[in-house]
Amino acid sequence: MEGPVRIERPEAQVVLVRLWRPERLNALDMELRRALARTFRDLAEDEEVRVAVLAGSERAFAAGADLGEMVDADSVEMMRRATHRLWQAVADFPKPLIAAVRGYALGGGMELAMHADIIVAGENAEFGQPEVRVGIMPGAGGTQRLLRAVGPYRAAWLVMTGERVSGREAAAMGLVSRLVPDAEVEAEALAVARRIARMPPLAVREIKEVLRLGADAPLATALALERKAFQLLFSTRDQKEGMRAFLDKRRPEFEGR
């Protein structure tokens, strides 16, 4: 398949979305971003897909926005590009998204990784928000998602200095869900995807939504959201199947109903 975003189907119900602009370390140009947004909108509707893995190449998950496309832009041009709509297509993906990070995840690349629910990273991956070094600042969640992930003091240090941290250091900060040797990143991300794909999809979808919405809501509101979603799941066949299978001492078969 041609193009900067490639779709692989390594197994049933799991899709691997691969950023493929290796000669530019997967720098995110407009073509790649548009393709990524289209891909996630399509996958959201695809009933065959329960979980997505987002990966890059061996050297780079993504080395940030394509600076060649930004250097001469003015504010009006940046407003006209309205790239937040393209990012939003990834943020709105309703199924679990696992980022498999090898090599560089810088600037917009690190922000893209933070759009995922789970980050699997290699020990020598390199995370960073170097925007300040090229005269700007993060513009796709790199101040806000990072702040929520690692706390204000580490976020300020990373964003103000633009320094890079290894996968190991990022894991110690809480930015990584699973830290593995570099060569095992994709296999581990796919193994996690496979495990989640076996779970009841409606329950997983509710979990994602409540985690996301709850994180920024007052606690009482978030707990109410959780309670309502919990109660709602009692109308699913998968709830009956899951509990009945447990009582019958057999494996459940979840169908997403």
Please, which residue, 105 or 207, has the CB nearer to ligand CO8? 105
Closest distance of CB 207 from ligand CO8, Å: 28
The CA R_g of the chain, rounded to the nearest whole Å, is: 19
Residue 9 has phi, psi (to 5 degrees) of: -120, 80
Q: Which residues pair with 128 in a beta bridge?
A: 106
What is the Cα–Cα distance from 253 to 149, expressed in whole angstroms? 34
What is the Cα–Cα distance from 245 to 198, expressed in whole angstroms? 14
Please, which residue, 169 or 241, has the CB nearer to ligand CO8? 169
The DSSP symbol for 50 reads S
Of the residues 27, 55, 62, 65, which is catalytic? 65
Say if residues 13 and 52 touch (Cβ distance below 8 Å). Answer: no
Residue number of the CB atom closest to ligand CO8: 107
Closest distance of CB 66 from ligand CO8, Å: 4
Please, which residue, 106 or 196, has the CB nearer to ligand CO8? 106
Of the residues 131, 186, 188, 206, which is catalytic? 131
Q: Is 221 left (phi over 0), alpha (psi -120 to 50) or beta?
A: alpha
Contact letters for ligand CO8, residues 125-164 (x by CB under 6 A)? -----xx--x---xxx------------------------
Of the residues 108, 122, 142, 167, which is catalytic? 108
Q: Is 100 in the site for ligand CO8 (CB under 6 A)?
A: no
Closest distance of CB 185 from ligand CO8, Å: 18
The DSSP symbol for 218 reads -
Amino acid at 207: I
Q: Note the residues at the interface with ligand CO8 (CB under 6 A).
A: 24-25, 27, 63-68, 83, 104, 106-108, 111, 130-131, 134, 138-140
